[in-house]
Amino acid sequence: MIELKRGDRKNGAIQALLDAFDDDPVAAVHAVRDYVADRQSQARREVAPKGPVLLSVKDITKTYKLGRQRLEVLKGVTLDIYEGEFVAITGASGSGKSTLLQLMGGLDKPTKGDIIFAGKSLAKLSDGKLSAFRRDTIGFVFQFFYLQPFLKLQQNLEVPGMFAKSPRRVRHETARNLADKVGLGDRLTHYPKELSGGQMQRAAIARALLNHPKILLADEPTGNLDSVNGRAIIDLFETIRGELGMTVVIVTHDPAIAARADREIHLKDGVLA
């Protein structure tokens, strides 16, 4: 949550914004909020510790064929993600941020360039090895929860472990522990329709953690939630990063969420802005 401190009221930039929107109090509030978010984001970038590089994006492009037309979504993007970072990817609709996240997670392959994860080239992996990489290394969280409506929460959480052929006892125990961690320990016998939107997204996060991934990738994870539940989900991501030391990368359009990340990566028309 963005809050003005006492010293901020003496800030010349904030006063200038208030004066500029003197006739529009709502616009003034939004302008000041965005200014404070930018300042907080810059402060995080200056102090955020950087561990070893976990994932490198190497000059990737991504082009889709639409009939006779070619749509170039990403146009030579290069960046590094460090171990333990909490990174926000932002940009307007169509800027390529979701495509970038999918490529980073091995859900798709770039047209050119490469993704290097912990020294391993994803471009050189066969489809079978790439599938195993996604299963064992990446935790995915999406805007839509994708919980199976015919399974109770306990079974929903265990699905990744089933694909990984984890022993049933281990799946049960891990699912229960994760349910407790996200505040759903008393909901394991409930079906998804019996959960609120915030509870379903917390369940989706717990499910993504079942196989102990090295990085958590989330695409607009608060897009279907109100502001209160949205903040609670970001609180949970910060807790996961803090307690598990996990790298977290979130695609978001919300500047308030981006301000809470260690670093913001902004895309515009398929390139880093």
In angstroms, rounded to a whole number, what is the distance separating the alpha carbons of residues 125 and 131? 9
Model confidence pLDDT, tens digit, residues 34-47: 666 556 555 555 54
Cα 164 to chain centroid, rounded = 23
For residue 6, what pLDDT is reported? Answer: 44
Q: Which residues of the chain have pLDDT under 50?
A: 1-9, 47
Mean pLDDT of the chain: 87
Report d(CA 232, CA 71) in Å as an integer: 37
Entry pTM:
0.80
**CATH 3.40.50.300 domain span(s) along the chain:** 85-100+123-272
Task: State residue 65's pLDDT score.
Answer: 87
Residues 6+ apart with CB under 8 A from 120: 133
Name the architecture of domain 85-100+123-272: 3-Layer(aba) Sandwich (3.40)
